[in-house]
Amino acid sequence: MIRAFCFLIYICLFLKCSLLIAQTRFQFTHQQMGTQIGLIFYDKDSDEVRADSIAQLVFNRIDELNGTLSNYVPQSEINRLSRSPNKNVAVSNDLFRLLQISGDFSANTKGAFDITLGPLIELWRKARKNSQLPLIEEIQSALKRIGYNNLEFLDGNIIRLRKGGMQLDVGGIGKGFAADEAIELLKRHGITAALVDMGGDITVSDAPPNKEFWILGFNYFDNNGEEVFQKLKLKNQAVATSGDLYQYVLIDGKRFSHIIDPRNGKALNNNIQVTTIAPNGSMADAYASALSVLGIEEGMEVVQKAPCLEVFMVEDIPGAYKQWNSSGFLNYIIGD
């Protein structure tokens, strides 16, 4: 009897493993939010029609968020809000939640992350296009129209912009927010092992079948100027990389990033790269941008106060190379 019972347990365990092994991998791509989006998920149902349908739901959701959050869509909800200063404006749940989350990240990063930087972002976008630095007077004028504290939250999803000429820009968090929403949608449809790649910033849920983690990676330059590829192991987390080591433009022989320092209104030129690991894409994206602004010395204090955030930072300044990581970051490193 005992032998028969043990045999039944063995059969059940075998069948359970077989079900795990039998899960089918599906992969899709989609162009939105200024990047190519990659989607991978595993499903116990091998039906391609079902998989296509789920993928389309995910991409429709991302398209919907783009219509809400994009500065490049003239009638997007965020643009309509920006055009309504000093008024109480009722906004969607999506926009209200994202603005609230952004405000919290701003407060927690000493204002280094700020979604009100639209006037400065537009100024530097023009500078990159024309290869000509903005005038000091232009920067000072734009600085008067920014500040996350000028964003007021009222009951009933009401937002009020306290200054005229404000322009909200969620480019530093929007993709991560969209990835989080995609992961949640997939879970509601029974998909628990998934990866959403928003142009290199990646959010994952449970690990693939018969695996402990998703294996991801990032690049950085060491103190010899050699590019290093580092593997990471993640599940139910997100990784994002930001800085000016890769994304920059040369103006008058100097490199300038797409990231703006809210404190002085200038584009970064501090040769920095930040890789963050966080519980979700929104947090990973926002802190990667903020820590790029703060640098290693100021950033260390912010990281120590941020729960569940792990960070790797490089300042690749000639003759003054610095590298730092939070102690927990090493737990996600995969050695050679």
Q: How do residues 199-208 score in pLDDT, each as one tens digit?
A: 999 999 999 9
Higher pLDDT, 18 or 85: 85
Q: Whole-angstrom Cα distance, residue 55 to residue 98?
A: 23
Structure tokens at 168: 């909200």
pLDDT at 254 over 50: yes
Under a CB-based contact definition with an 8 Å cutoff, are residues 39 and 30 in contact?
yes
pLDDT, averaged across the chain: 91
Residue pair 286/112 in contact (Cβ under 8 Å)? The answer is: no
Q: What is the pLDDT of residue 246?
A: 63
Say if residue 261's pLDDT is above 50.
yes
Give whole-number Cα distances, 138 to 121, 143, 145, 252, in Å.
12, 9, 11, 18
The maximal CA–CA distance of the chain, rounded, in angstroms, is 88
Q: How far is CA 47 from CA 17, 53, 159, 204, in A?
A: 20, 10, 44, 22
Alpha carbon distance 333, 231 (integer Å): 6
CB atoms < 10 A from the CB of 46, how many? 12
The pLDDT tens digits of the residues spanning 276-313 come to 999 999 999 999 999 999 999 999 999 999 999 999 99
Amino acid at 312: F
Cα 176 from Cα 201, distance rounded (Å): 7
Return the SS3 of 190.
coil
State the pLDDT confidence band at 251, using cuts at 50, 70 and 90: confident
**The pLDDT value given to residue 249:** 80
What's residue 99's pLDDT?
98
Residue 16's pLDDT is: 42
